[in-house]
Amino acid sequence: MDSHNANIITPQERLSLRRVIASANGKGGVGKTSVVTNTGTLLADAGYKVLIVDLDSQKNVAINLGFVNTEADDEGQGLFNTVLTGTTLQPAKNIRENLDVVPGGTQLNALGDLLVGESRRGKQQYRGGVARAIASIADQYDIILIDTPPADHSVHFVDEAMIAARWVIAPLRPERKSVSALQALVRRFNDVADLNDEVQLLGVVIFGVTAGSRMSLAEKDTREDLASMLGDIAPVFSATVRNVPAADADAVRRGMSVVELADAATRQTPFWQALRDGKKQERRITGSANSLAEDYVALGSEIVQELQRQEDLYAAEMEV
């Protein structure tokens, strides 16, 4: 049987997928993509070999990383072909140093149709195909991050991500209703259990907190709700992502990560110098990029620490 038709994930494939983290939540607009692109670029910069896989037809990964309409931007065609034919996945290389990307885009809609169609007929030739595709190259990377669409749009892609992943990071906004969306996500673990009974929640990221020195009431309430819901299943990361629309918009417009934007800000000509020299003002980078960059640095290091802690726990369990 062709490996792409063998609707299972082999133990060998499963092992190679152990550093795959999906960013997922039932809801849209909760920071799934921002967490992937910003922590992904940071980890690559820190020397990890990173792969980002975009399972969203909106291709926000390509937008955030600034490669829309370049040769790298294949609209998801490469991933689609690999899932269909079982050939080796060919990511877009060196989007940054140490960072490759499997782009998303409109071609994923065709794959979504196949997944929906076969599930209606009770078949699963393509289900798990994304996991098999990633497994074909996973050994080349230290960390693989998958960006997912909101589940209420394309639940099959969320499942594909969760079949491929060992870990899930769930970003959510500090609101009561996000906590119920997280409950819906936790239920999805059951839906993929036949192909992946190892995937676990690595942690929750509170996204879009009010910028300020004190913890907002909304964040406090959310932390309490999450603590009672999650118990010791998974931590809520202490690092949060502040709501800084100006810095986010500036980063997206320039196709830079927030940390890259903050770095660029330190290199821009001081405004007084530009004024003195009578130079035409280039569009200045907002000063608020720094605080948001700090958030992502803290979050990136907390994610790596938690991953390490979990892997150590798992290794210890295997020994007894």
Ligand X SMILES: Nc1ncnc2c1ncn2[C@@H]1O[C@H](COP(=O)(O)OP(=O)(O)OP(=O)(O)O)[C@@H](O)[C@H]1O
Q: Could you list the residues that contact Mg ion (CB under 5 A)?
A: 32-33, 60
Residue 166 Cβ vs Mg ion, minimum distance, rounded to whole Å: 21
Figure out which of the listed residues 91, 104, 150, 300 binds ligand X, where binding follows CB under 6 A.
Answer: 150
The residue count for the chain? 320
137 binds, among Mg ion, ligand X, none (CB under 5 to 8 A by kind): none
Helix H or strand E encompassing 275 = helix 271-276
Which C-beta is closer to ligand X: that of 31 or that of 91? 31
Figure out which of the listed residues 4, 21, 22, 31 binds ligand X, where binding follows CB under 6 A.
Answer: 31
- Number of helices followed by number of strands (H, E) in the chain: 13, 8
User: Is-contact 133 146, C-beta < 8 A?
Assistant: no
Nearest 5°: phi and psi at 92? -75, 120
Residue 29 Cβ vs ligand X, minimum distance, rounded to whole Å: 4
How is the beta sheet containing 241-242 ordered, strand by strand? 92-96, 99-102, 50-54, 143-147, 20-23, 167-172, 200-209, 241-242
Residue 27 Cβ vs ligand X, minimum distance, rounded to whole Å: 7
Is residue 128 a contact point for ligand X (CB under 6 A)?
no
User: DSSP of 13-65, one letter per residue?
Assistant: HHHHTTTEEEE--SSSSSSHHHHHHHHHHHHHHTT--EEEEE--TT-HHHHHT
Residue 295 Cβ vs Mg ion, minimum distance, rounded to whole Å: 18
Which C-beta is closer to ligand X: that of 163 or that of 241? 241
Residue 189 Cβ vs ligand X, minimum distance, rounded to whole Å: 19
Measured CA to CA, the distance from residue 76 to residue 93 in angstroms comes to: 14
Is residue 243 a contact point for ligand X (CB under 6 A)?
yes
Q: Where are the strands (E) in 55-121, listed by range? A: 92-96, 99-102
Site residues for ligand X, 280-299, by CB under 6 A, read: 292
Measured CA to CA, the distance from residue 261 to residue 289 in angstroms comes to: 7
Figure out which of the listed residues 34, 136, 178, 290 binds ligand X, where binding follows CB under 6 A.
Answer: 34
Which C-beta is closer to Mg ion: that of 16 or that of 57? 57
Which C-beta is closer to ligand X: that of 13 or that of 56? 56
Residue 11 Cβ vs ligand X, minimum distance, rounded to whole Å: 32
β-strand pairing of 92-96 with 99-102: antiparallel
Q: Which residues contact ligand X by CB under 6 A? A: 28-34, 56, 60, 149-150, 208, 241-245, 248, 252, 292
